[in-house]
Structure 1
Amino acid sequence: MKFYIFIVVLIISTTGFAQKSVKQSQVVKLATKADTLQYAEGVATGQWMVKNNFEVKNANLFLKGMEDVLQKKALAVNDSIIRKTINEYQLSTQIEKSKLQEEQLFATLKGKTGVGVLPNGVNYIIRRQGDGVRPSAKSTVVINAVGVLPDGAIFEDTYKKKQPITIAIGSLIPGLNEAVQLMPVGSVWRIFIPSVLGYGEKGLQNVVPPYSALVFDIELLEIK
């Protein structure tokens, strides 16, 4: 059986895959499972590149690199340089993305009704105000926490784990340290933390990217 699939042929320009300029439509005939596999491999490679924010700014060099690997030719650079170059590119694009998301997040909060701002730049929304005592800088507290990145990815959820955190105020990241001291026991606050008061330029490996703003829903359950 023959499968006829219409695909879009992209212009690989100086703006890379992100621009996705359409040149023309072309019929690709996938007559066998082997043909379909080859096409699927190409699609998977392209999808991976788009997902990881890679661009093709020099089509000749890109295709030459692919050809050298597929035909098992000698590479123009050694593997260590390739890995280093890719890692540096991914880090730089992630940093740009994080900084833009942080800027957009705090721009949407600016002047918004119900949003409080602390002197250190932390923003907060009181979702429920408790009537208990407030912790001090030397307190140990029991909290529920949901931590979210600006893109909506959840990296912490004690409700899901069904296990609140017991932690010294002094061990909290700077943005939470000050905010939690203002919360009476029983309160639930949504706290927006600039990257400099979160995990900063290093991030939290495999959890929080470098320079990422953070959003926490914090429920203060108890002071030990």
Structure 2
Amino acid sequence: MKKILLLSAVCLLALSPAEAQKKKNKKAGKEEAPVFIMSNAVDSMSYALGISVGNDLLTNFENIPGGEYNTNVFLKGFETALKKDSALMTNEFAQEFFQSYMMKAYEKETEAKIAAGEKFLAENKEKEGVIETASGLQYIVEREGNGAIPAENDVVKVSYEGFLLDGTKFDSSIERNEPLEFPVNQVIQGWSEGLQLMKVGSKYKFFIPYHLAYGERGAGNVIPPYSTLIFDVELLEIVPQ
């Protein structure tokens, strides 16, 4: 899509003497960021708008459930609308079809994510050392400490790393060299329950189903909706209040 936009820009816009100077600088070994100087302000504004809209559209494409789209067909529809030509769909039908497609695609993607999480947890609980609680939280005791066990209203200091099922590390206090302090009752349910099983000095691995984690919303752009999560957690201390 970027290639198409740039080719269109080359056809429509003339380069100024400043662009020629940039080429001379490049031959002389001076690297500069590519800058197109348009022939007038309207062309510059139009090109800038195209870049802005294109980047927004690319983000939307990448967030389409299932990740499938056809850029060439999109551009045909886009051009048809801009030129006010006769289209294969009315605007009303296009909006209804798009919304219906997105809803079905989202439902399909959601079902697949939930199924993947359930499959993982079902297989994981059969592995040696894995313990499952009544809520569905699973954990492994990697090191048992000998300190006190925190209560719901305690503040704790922990060191941790968090992973998605595909192995993506989405957070790590270890890499930041910054242990985290927080009240036990003010984190996701899987953490709150798991921490109250640990003694200070312990290191556990948590396997948290989505309903005990960030649920159907996820967390920003880091944790997708309906994500089963894995955490390595070390309970460093119960912070005196």
Band of TM-score, shorter chain: 0.5 to 0.7
Alpha-carbon separation, structure 1, partners of 2:102 and 2:212: 25
Are 1:189 and 2:194 an aligned pair?
no
CA distance in 2, matches of 1:205, 1:90: 20
Return the TM-score normalized by structure 2.
0.62
Q: 2:173 aligns with which of 152, 158, 161?
A: 158
SS at match of 1:102: helix
One of 129, 136, 139 as aligned partner of 1:121: 136
AA aligned to 1:114 is G
Distance in 2, Cα, partners of 1:67 & 1:194: 43
- Counterpart of 1:39 in structure 2 is none
Q: Is the helix fraction higher in 1 or 2?
A: 2
Q: Which residue of 1 aligns with 2:215?
A: 200
- What is the correspondence of 1:54-69 to structure 2 with a 5 Å cutoff? 54-55=67-68, 65-69=74-78
How many angstroms apart in 1 are the aligned matches of 2:130 and 2:111? 26
Is residue 107 from structure 1 mapped to residue 118 from structure 2 by the alignment?
Answer: no
* CA 82–206 in structure 1, closer or farther in 2 if over 3 Å, else same: farther
Larger Rg: 2
- Cα 1:183–1:211 change in 2 (3 A) is same
Q: Counterparts of 2:66 and 2:216 in 1: how far apart (Å)? A: 20
Residue correspondences, number? 174
Kindly indicate which of the two structures has a greater share of residues assigned to strand: 1
- Matched to 1:160, the amino acid is E
Contact 1:94 1:210 in 2 (8 A): no
For residues 129-152 of structure 1, give each alpha carbon's deviation from its aligned partner in whole angstroms, at most 9, with x where no partner exists: 111111111111000111111121
Other structure's SS at 1:177 match: helix
SS class of match (1:114): coil
Judging changes above 3 Å, is the alpha-carbon distance between structure 1 residues 90 and 151 closer, same or farther for their aligned structure 2 residues?
farther
Change (3 A) 1:162 1:63: closer
Task: Return closer, same or farther for 1:151/1:220 CA change in 2, 3 Å cut-off.
Answer: same
CA distance in 1, matches of 2:131, 2:145: 17
Asked whether the equivalents of residues 98 and 209 of structure 1 are also in contact (C-alpha less than 8 Å), the reply is: no
Q: Contact conserved, 1:142 with 1:221, CA < 8 A, in 2?
A: yes
Structure 2: runs of 5+ lacking an equivalent: 1-6, 8-57
CA contact (8 A) 1:94 1:209 kept: no
Q: Within 5 A, what are the aligned runs for 1:48-59? A: 53-55=66-68
CA contact (8 A) 2:65 2:109 kept: no
Instruction: Report % sequence identity.
Output: 31
Q: What's the Cα RMSD here?
A: 3.1
Spell out structure 1 runs of 4+ moving beyond 2 A.
Answer: 51-56, 62-94
Q: How does 1:37-56 map to 2 (within 5 A)?
A: 53-55=66-68
* CA displacement at 1:84 relative to structure 2: 5.3
Query: Which amino acid is the alignment partner of residue 170 of structure 2?
Result: F
Letter of the 1:100 partner, please give it.
A
Q: 1:86 to 1:222 in 2, by over 3 A?
A: farther
User: Normalised by the size of structure 1, how large is the TM-score?
Assistant: 0.66
**AA matched with 1:211:** Y
* Partner Cα distance (1:145, 1:191) in 2: 10
CA contact (8 A) 1:144 1:218 kept: yes
- Specify every segment of 5 or more residues in structure 1 that has no aligned partner in the other structure, as ranges: 1-33, 35-44
Q: Is residue 208–residue 229 contact of structure 2 (8 Å, CA) maintained in 1?
A: yes
